[in-house]
Structure 1
Amino acid sequence: MTLTELRYLVAVARERHFGRAAEACHVSQPTLSVAIKKLEEELDVKLFERGGNEVSVTALGQELVRQAQVVLEQAALMREIAKRGSDPLAGPLRLGVIYTIGPYLLPALVRQVIARTPQMPLLLQENFTVKLLEMLRTGELDCAILAEPFPDTGLALAPLYDEPFRVVVPAGHALAARQVISAEELKRETLLLLGNGHCFRDHVLEVCPEFARFASGAEGIQKSFEGSSLETIKHMVASGLGITVLPELSVPREASHLHMLNFSAPVPSRRVVLAWRRSFTRYEAIAALRNAVMACELPGVQRINA
């Protein structure tokens, strides 16, 4: 068997579809199918159940896929060790970032990385926390910038910064004359939230738990709308559809149509961390990335230098 065949095996298991797996591997479907058939014949096992539009991994196939992931990671490690002989930072770093951090951190971070370690380009992936954790586990990502809390997956973590939350209202809103607001007062307003899957939605619900118990006719937040991104929600607020809660870095610095309020103490916040597999050995790359984050302008957040 070859490493290429093992990559095809992992891709089919991930995509549950030969066509999509071939696309992901940048080969034709017949090429991939022949390689999988050859692997099944060599191992004398059935790796996949083929039926309908999707394929499923057999019980034995799942064990072999896990082992293939280990082999591929170890092969990648050998390449990394060889590169580190001449430059420990040589080679791309595959970085994942959640949607509510990416647009506000990545532009400055990419500039810092290019200036500091041009030999270590970032290969970027924005996604939900759950998906990024899965990609870390399977070796598709080297590291990820996430917001705590998230399920304990045995990852190594380095704290980056604590980011407070702000309340944003339309410029003409009754609250626009205020500078400070309590979480309790939010339940009397129309609150605009991110949709399911965004961890920041859960953070807002912790700030305003009345919404989690909201039902028609009950006391609490009058009603809510869901947006697909923080930028969409900001436009909805500017249009007068309600108010919202934003993490500090996403708050517009100059916006005549919006007004920002601080929370009264205790101010809710989220901790942003850098996560990577404990088996990932490019320690210098992780340290360089963390230093690049710390060199970025991060107005309003509290950096963690520990």
Structure 2
Amino acid sequence: MNIKDLEYYQRLVYEKSFSKVADFYQVSQPTITYAIKRLETELNVTLLERDRSHKNISLTPAGRQFSQHVNKILRELRIAKREMSHFNTEQIPFGLPPIIGNYYFPKLSKQLLVQDILQHLKIIRDGSENLLRQIRLGQIDIGIIGSINPLTEDDLKSELLKEKKFQIIVAKNHPLASKTQVAFRDLLDENFVLLSERYVHLYAFQQLTAASGFEPHVVYQSDDLQILKSMIKDGVGIGFLTEIAIQPEDNLLAIDLIDDNQPLFYISMVQRSAEISTPLHKSFTELIRRVFMEDLDS
């Protein structure tokens, strides 16, 4: 089965026009026609219903089913090409969310330098949701991902490294600053400043909101953690962050939540299930495990 024939078929399903597909690939229209005939002959099914002019086409049931397989085949082929390029360059695209990276990467980088791995890393910093998507697409080999549930997807290989709490973050002069614990429902009258949907924090916050039965007053959402911390410090609102997001130099206070069944922040090392580990990959993943295991204070 010719890969080019599959590409022509995929485009034809999208365009519903032989002439448009021919124009897109800059080939003759008969080239597209013969490609579809080759597929139908090899599969021994009719994939398309055509009118006599070939101007209008529709998929047969077999054609719709085959289209799903073609999409998967071509997607896997694109991923394979990306992964092979990583082998050629001895480069590891490594996904790291800002909060996890700010806390753990300084601990990790010293060992990476000693073991001569640091120079092989291409670090992609983004929210966990976007990093997961890039791992699935083969754009990232390994990611340290934050989630509010353990990751159990068939196409992903996930290893839990840490479980962390979410906390309420306030300025040192805030009325809540004297508290060490608080119930989420007691924050009914507070203004919140939150991270955006690029971060799992928002989904954990929504989970708490649903359980508490009230709608908090969210005055601002941002992708930028530092801006958020500054707004909390200036009294614009209180925050909701995982405990590793706050450092002593931030001059902010973290208050534990006492709610039952509150969400946790899971930190996992994630790869594609089909990913084949090179010696470099194995050394890197072993180092990640060791650094997280040794970090007993976290």
Range of TM-score over shorter length: 0.5 to 0.7
Q: Is the 8 A contact 2:112 2:118 kept in 1?
A: no
What whole-Å deviation, never above 9, does each CA across 1:163-192 have from its counterpart, x for those lacking one?
Answer: 222221111111112222233323332222
Aligned partner of 2:226: which letter?
E
In structure 1, the residue matched to 2:210 is 209
**Against the structure 1 CA distance between its residues 208 and 171, is the aligned structure 2 distance closer, same or farther, given a 3 Å change threshold?**
same
**Against the structure 1 CA distance between its residues 75 and 189, is the aligned structure 2 distance closer, same or farther, given a 3 Å change threshold?**
closer
Structure 1 residues 267-276 or 155-164, which shifts more? Answer: 267-276
How much is the aligned-residue C-alpha RMSD, in angstroms? 4.2
Secondary structure in structure 2 of the residue aligned to 1:241: coil
- 1:194-205 alignment, distance < 5 Å: 194-205=195-206
**Given the alignment, which residue of 60, 68, 73 partners 1:67?**
73
For structure 1, the 5+ residue unaligned runs are 14-33, 46-58, 84-89, 215-220, 302-306
| Distance across 2 between alignment mates of 1:178 and 1:63 | 57
| Distance across 1 between alignment mates of 2:186 and 2:28 | 62
Shift of 1:44: 4.1
Determine whether 1:262 maps to 2:268. Answer: no
Aligned partner of 2:255: which letter?
L
Aligned partner of 2:172: which letter?
A
Percent identity for Structure 1 against Structure 2: 16
- 1:166-245 alignment, distance < 5 Å: 166-209=167-210, 214=215, 221-245=216-240
Q: Is the 8 A contact 1:129 1:198 kept in 2?
A: yes
Shift of 1:275: 1.1
**Against the structure 1 CA distance between its residues 223 and 35, is the aligned structure 2 distance closer, same or farther, given a 3 Å change threshold?**
closer
| Distance across 1 between alignment mates of 2:181 and 2:187 | 12
Shift of 1:69: 4.2
TM-score by length of 1: 0.64
| Distance across 2 between alignment mates of 1:36 and 1:150 | 43
- 1:46-125 alignment, distance < 5 Å: 66-71=72-77, 73-74=79-80, 91-118=90-117, 121-125=120-124
Aligned partner of 1:238: which letter?
K
What whole-Å deviation, never above 9, does each CA across 1:88-122 have from its counterpart, x for those lacking one?
Answer: xx921111233443333334333432322437611
In structure 2, the residue matched to 1:275 is 270
Q: Is the 8 A contact 2:194 2:239 kept in 1?
A: yes
Structure 1 residues 200-209 or 278-287, which shifts more? Answer: 278-287
Aligned partner of 2:256: which letter?
N
Number of residue-to-residue matches in the alignment: 253
Higher normalized helix content (fraction of residues): 2
Secondary structure in structure 2 of the residue aligned to 1:110: helix
For structure 2, the 5+ residue unaligned runs are 12-22, 37-63
Secondary structure in structure 1 of the residue aligned to 2:235: coil
